[in-house]
């Protein structure tokens, strides 16, 4: 793993195992790998107060206990967690 800091974030680089193919009893078996991404930023103040980002809108009334839950990769809309669906980079190629 490698990382590169930016003024507005942190870029992480990972290596995935290569795709493999094998023939077994006449059938072609293939193994591929992909990544699912969830991210959360926690800012802890010296007085014990913690802030979690991304945070839901103030009117959403989501309990702070939701911020402390592990990421749920089956849900793109999990409060306090960013995913590639909810916080994707803008497409500047158009």
Output the pLDDT for position 93.
Answer: 55
> What one-character-per-residue DSSP string does 25-83 give?
TTEEEEE------EE-EEEE-TTS-EEEES---GGG---GGGGGSPP-TT-TT-TT-EE
- Quick: pLDDT tens for 29-88: 999 988 888 889 888 888 888 899 999 988 888 998 999 999 999 888 899 998 888 877
pLDDT > 70? residue 92: no
Please state the domain extents for the chain: 38-82
Tokens at 77, concatenated:
């809309």
Distance separating alpha carbons of residues 55 and 27, to the nearest angstrom: 48
Distance separating alpha carbons of residues 65 and 70, to the nearest angstrom: 11
Output the pLDDT for position 79.
Answer: 92
């Amino acid at each position: 793993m490698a990382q590169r800091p930016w003024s507005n974030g942190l870029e992480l680089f990972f290596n995935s195992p290569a795709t493999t193919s094998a023939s077994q009893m006449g059938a072609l078996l293939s193994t591929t790998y992909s990544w699912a991404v969830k991210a959360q930023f926690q800012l802890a103040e010296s007085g014990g107060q913690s802030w979690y980002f991304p945070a839901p809108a103030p009117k959403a009334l989501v309990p702070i206990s939701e911020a402390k839950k592990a990421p749920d990769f089956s849900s793109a809309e999990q409060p306090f967690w960013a995913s590639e669906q909810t916080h994707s980079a803008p497409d500047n190629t158009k």
